[in-house]
Amino acid sequence: MKLQLLTFGLMLLTGAAVSAQDTLNFPHLGEVLRFQPAMNQIIAEGAKIEVVASGFDWTEGPVWVPGTKEKPGYLLFSDIPRNAVYRWDEGEGISLYLSPSGYTGVDDYGAEPGCNGLMLDSQGQLVSCEHGDRRISVLTHGGGKRTLVDNYQGKRLNSPNDLVFHSNGDLLFTDPPYGLPNRWDDPRRELDFCGVYRLKPNGELTLLTKELARPNGIALSPDEKTVYVTQSDPQAALWMAYPLKPDGSLGKGRVIHDATRDVNKLPGLPDGMAVAQDGTLFATGPGGVYVFTPDEKFVGRISTGERTANCTFGGPNGDYLYLTADMYICRIKTNLVGLNHKK
């Protein structure tokens, strides 16, 4: 197995996988840990974690771009250190989609200059959380990039990390310091907190909360009454849930799960999330992807054995969960359909 994965990675690094992918017999990684019987209803027994691409530096921000009957959809994802976005097409493999992706300056900008979280807006345009340029941008259809937001009350954002769209067009996003070359201690930092924000379609930016030391992943429940936010603080590795009020503000947050005791025992920290149409929450964290039922019970973990940064639903039927796990792009078949899947 290690030889298979190494060969797969070398294919990408040498460019052989860019133009062709002559196999659908993917190697496997990790295992599915089932702590409660409900996990079997979410992921069938015997389901495997497939490695569909490899050889990257640090993968993040996966988003599935829907296709048509004539043309299949594809996966986009960030490689933050490489300052690039890559595209994966089943049966074809990897190709470079966008570079630079998050930093357009000329000086060195540390280890993670590229974009992080990716999302499609209502027009199908790619919206990116850019580390180096410290903004959220949209790649317009045929018109280049536009900046959606890059400051709060005149002070530059830290490094936007993850984002989610509300059905009313509001964009919710997190802003920890991980993209700054020296992170929290970077002299270029202008804000003295890490915030969770709401950007309205008219450009109005509101700070929703600054109570989390390191807000990271963000997601919405299917009824849009709950905002999920992860905290990637090793001293308080949490998944939080906040009531979303009718006026767009947040109510008092509550802890869904505390994984602090798993930090340093298992690789990774709470990070990105994906939500199924029934409300099941898939949340990356120490050891892989934690799975919570719609009533927020922790029932199992997709254990990759790698630092797993993010996940998203994709595939023609919206039932594959795609994972960015360190140097790997993985997927696993589920019995559910992703919240944003459109037939």
56 is a domain residue: yes
Residue 97 makes CB contacts below 8 A (sequence gap 6+) with: 76, 84, 85, 86, 87
Q: At 70, is the pLDDT very low, low, confident or very high (cuts 50, 70, 90)?
A: confident
pLDDT surpassing 80 at residue 285: yes
Q: What is the DSSP string of 197-242?
A: EEE-TTS-EEEEE---SSEEEEEE-TTS-EEEEEEEETTEEEEEEE
Contact 205, 147 (CB under 8 A): no
What pLDDT does 95 receive? 96
pLDDT tops 80 at residue 290:
yes
Whole-number pLDDT of residue 69: 80
Q: List pLDDT tens digits, range 159-171.
A: 999 999 999 999 9
How far is CA 224 from each of CA 166, 227, 252, rounded to the nearest angstrom? 7, 7, 16
Q: Look at 5-9, 20-24, 51-55 and tell me which has the smallest mean pLDDT.
A: 5-9
Is 341 contained in some domain?
Answer: no
240-274 pLDDT per residue, tens: 999 999 999 999 999 999 999 999 999 999 999 99
Segment 269-280 mean pLDDT: 98
Q: Determine which of 73-77, 263-267, 278-282, 337-341 has the lowest per-residue pLDDT on average.
A: 337-341
Tell me whether residue 338 is in a domain. Answer: no
Q: Identify whether 342 is part of a domain.
A: no
Which spans in 254-341 are helix H?
none
Flag whether 233 is in a domain. yes
Whether 266 is covered by a domain: the verdict is yes
The two most distant CA atoms of the chain are separated, in Å, by 54
CATH for 62: 2.120.10.30
What is the average pLDDT across 297-307? 97
Contacts 24+ apart (CB under 8 A), 245-250: 248/170, 248/198, 248/200, 248/206, 249/206, 249/208, 250/196, 250/208, 250/209
Residue 86: is it exposed, middle or buried by C-beta count within 10 angstroms (0-12/13-18/19+)? buried
pLDDT of residue 1 exceeding 70: no
Residue 262, in any domain of the structure: yes
Q: Model's pTM, two decimal places?
A: 0.92
Residue 72 has pLDDT above 50, yes or no: yes
Whether residue 125 is predicted with pLDDT greater than 90 in this model: the reply is yes
Strand, helix or coil for residue 113: coil
Number of domains in the chain: 1
- Report pLDDT for 136: 98
Count CB neighbours of 115 within 10 A: 32
Which range marks the domain in which residue 165 is found? 2-333
Average of per-residue pLDDT values in the chain: 92
pLDDT value, residue 343: 63
Confidence check: pLDDT of 329 > 60:
yes
Residues 203-223 have a mean pLDDT of: 98
207 domain residue, yes or no: yes
- The per-residue pLDDT for range 131-149, each reduced to its tens digit, is 999 999 999 998 899 999 9
CA nearest 80: which of 128, 120, 148, 140? 128
CA nearest neighbour of 275 among 328, 236, 226, 209 = 226
